[in-house]
Structure 1
Amino acid sequence: MSDMNRYHRQMLFQGIGQEGQAQLLSKHVLIIGCGALGSSSAEILIRAGVGKITIIDRDYVEWTNLQRQHLFTEEDVHEQTPKAIAAARKLKKINSGINIHAVVMDATVENLTSYVQNADIVIDATDNFDTRFLINDLAHKYRKPWIFGACVGSSGMTFTIIPGQTPCLDCLLKVTPMFGATCDAVGVIGPAVQMVVTHQTTEALKLLVEAKSKINSKLIIFDLWNNHYQTIDVSRAKRANCSSCGVEPTYPSLTYHGRTKTEVLCGRDTVQIRGKQYSLKMLESKLTQYGEVQANPFLVSVDIDEKRLVFFQDGRTFVHGTHSIEDAKKLYYQIVG
């Protein structure tokens, strides 16, 4: 058990108190994505004394992350450390009494289901709507509250989704336009990230200590640079015939059988290929014929001409330097056979 004195100031806060702190220490939060939103959310919740945090992320630390993604350092970039692993190492130094589970993997139905089932709440820290729709369906199927969050430029939005009570993400999209631009296209500033994180983690704390009357039922949208802030009542957006949260849900994201094995990562000039799992040691040896190889216990990478291939332990490969799935697959199969 952690030394409770470290939470003294938090327990003085009437909304949490000693009873709320005990609840926090007994709860499990699943954070999907460990970039800007995920790393900051994890740090706040670890410091707050949430008993168990599971962090899932498929990526590794790069230079462009350091401007806004907390917990990461230049050393992580040089070592190509997976984000979930890098975050967990730092978080352990912040609060050694907390159970931190770092998972390096892509979020798919097959590997995400059990994590959602075993969590008390889910925090969305992803950068694409395919994964968010997956979270939405899993959360509703297993009756888990989840907190949507997104930011780009100086703008952001958040919404707390409670199965059976609030509109789901699919309902929300029917009435509210979402960001069309991406961070890679128009950039993002750190304060916008932190504003989203502030709302997400505050809502998480309310849910975890069961302060139901304090949950924010409105969609929050802001633009810090242009001094805009609004809350929108979206309660009427909930649809009885919604395929995710309606009377007879079919959970389309869970039953879709045509999931792609390749995809272009949002704005990254990178293609991800989900392939066969290979021994990293074998790949490290094989790749030396193509160029200088970098390796750690989680991945192996090599630069070939103007492209970089990164092979992960779970069978995924990033092909950087192209947005052509055909070109990426051609290079991939040239190497792995």
Structure 2
Amino acid sequence: MSLERYRKQMLFAPIGTAGQTAIRGTRVLLVGCGALGSVIADSLVRAGIGALRIVDRDFVDLTNLQRQVLYDEQDVQQHLPKAVAAVARLRRINSEVTLEARVTDVTPQNMLELLHDCDLILDGTDNFETRFLINDASLETGIPWVSGGVLGCSGQVFLVVPGATACLRCLLPEEPPQTETCDTAGVLGPAVNIIASLQVLRALQWICRGDAEPNRFLTVVDAWSGQWQQIDLAPLRSAAVCPACQGGERAWLRGARGSRSVVLCGRNAVQIAPSGEKIIDLASLELQWARLGKCTRNPFLLWFQPREFPDLELHLFADGRLIVKGTEDLARARTLYSRYLGG
């Protein structure tokens, strides 16, 4: 494959031919393809990344289109999973990149399998629980990851290189108490683009430099005011006794921490996931549910609006996960799961 399409990028001296070759030889795991993840995926594919595995548990919703740049109204109408819609779009951008869509939740049971042949992890998630799981997996395998997060007009980015930089638990030994969320503070589209672009920049720097100069700074951005902060995390790593990168604790990867039933930020929706493996026959279930309300199916999920609960929409995936849209009440969502799926 020719590198000609990347000529302008290769003219930038820190990348050059050697860097572009390294980019093409890199396999990335992207966890989450919402606001951050869609910008990250688009940028990596245009930059010529070798392979990109996109893992996302959600489907495209109309409210996503304000800030999630890979999706359009047709994806919403077809109830497409984000990973599937993203890969279809990205293939039209760069057919030379090896792309894989995984429509699943990231869990302690599948994290290492999803990661097994990758060189780098990019964080496109919207919750700390998954970030702590990624951090554990990174430390366990030695595979670096780039963390990013946005709320309102502010966000932060940092690179974790196991054994060389601070990790997430050096910075946050425990999950922080939730204060504001995207439901209360909102999300500014340009702030998403800034943070995601910085994540891709950290990724390209690491790919082109190797382990020689890992970036040790936490970058904090307030997009609305234009203020930027660079916080050196090296003293934090040397001064603290981190339970994860120094103590070897892997609580999230072992499954000792975390929950599989979660409220989806900014969606007025809840995800309920089965405790074990569960394969659903969507076609058979469609026949049953069609008698109880509106029901449509695509190869990836079954959409159902019960006549009894017209304010709710149920999205059932083939792996047994159910997203209930129209409520943030976990108990109510679990009741619906039992009612329509029998446990």
Tell me, yes or no, whether TM beats 0.5: yes
Partners of 1:184 and 1:230 lie apart in 2 by 26
Please name the residue that 1:295 is paired with.
297
Residue 244 of structure 1 aligns with which residue?
A: 244
Which whole-Å deviations, capped at 9, do the CAs of 1:61-104 have from their partners, x for residues lacking one?
Answer: 00111011111010001011100110100100010011001110
Cα contact 1:123–1:200 (8 A) shared by 2: yes
Name the counterpart of 1:48. 47
Matches within 5 A, 1:3-22: 3-22=2-21
Counting only pairs closer than 5 Å after superposition, residues 172-191 of structure 1 correspond to structure 2 as 172-173=171-172, 180-191=179-190
Equivalences for 1:89-108 in 2 at 5 Å? 89-108=88-107
Following superposition, the deviation at residue 159 of structure 1 comes to: 0.6
In the TM superposition, residue 332 of structure 1 has moved relative to its aligned partner by 1.9
Task: Determine the C-alpha separation between the residues in 1 that align with 2:214 and 2:245.
Answer: 19
Going from structure 1 to structure 2, the CA distance change for 1:284 and 1:175 (only over 3 Å counts) comes to: closer
Give secondary structure in 2 for the equivalent of 1:253.
Answer: coil
- Alpha carbons 1:322, 1:328 under 8 Å: kept: yes
User: Which 10-residue stretch deviates more, 184-193 or 265-274?
Assistant: 265-274
Residues 40, 196 of structure 2: 8 Å contact kept? yes
In the superposition, relative to structure 1, how do residues 179 and 195 fare at CA in structure 2: closer, same or farther (>3 Å)?
A: farther
Could you say which residue in structure 2 is the equivalent of 1:317? Answer: 322
Secondary structure of residue in 2 paired with 1:294: strand
TM-superposition CA deviations, 1:181-207 (whole Å, max 9, x none)? 222221111110111011100111111
- Tell me how far 1:178 sits from its aligned partner: 9.2
Judged with a 3 Å threshold, the aligned counterparts in structure 2 of structure 1 residues 210 and 114 are, in CA distance, closer, same or farther, namely: farther
Question: C-alpha displacement at 1:311, in angstroms?
Answer: 0.4
**Any conservation in 2 of the 1:32–1:122 contact (CA below 8 Å)?**
yes
TM-score of the two chains, using structure 2 as the length reference: 0.92
> 2:175, 2:315 → 1: CA distance?
37
1:29–1:52: 8 Å Cα contact kept in structure 2? Answer: yes
Displacement of 1:256: 3.1
Q: Which has the higher mean CA deviation after the structures are superposed, 210-219 or 13-22?
A: 210-219
Paired position in structure 2 for 1:66:
65
Stretches of structure 1 that go unaligned for 5 or more consecutive residues are none
| Structure 1 residue matching 2:143: 3-state secondary structure | coil
Aligned pairs, how many?
335
Please state how far the C-alpha of 1:174 moved relative to its aligned partner.
Answer: 5.2
SS where residue 14 of structure 1 aligns?
coil
Q: Which moved more, 1:210-219 or 1:298-307?
A: 210-219
Question: What secondary structure, in the 3-state scheme, does the structure 2 residue paired with 1:255 have?
Answer: coil
Q: For 1:49-198, list aligned pairs within 5 A.
A: 49-173=48-172, 180-198=179-197
Q: Alignment partner of 1:163: what SS?
A: coil
1:273 touches 1:318 (CA, 8 Å); kept in 2?
yes
Q: Give the secondary-structure state (helix, strand or coil) at the position aligned to 1:110.
A: coil
Q: Which moved more, 1:237-246 or 1:28-37?
A: 237-246
Sequence identity of aligned pairs in percent?
41
Query: Offset at 1:263?
Result: 2.5
Structure 2: which amino acid aligns with 1:142? Answer: T
Does the 8 A contact of 1:154 with 1:223 survive in 2?
yes
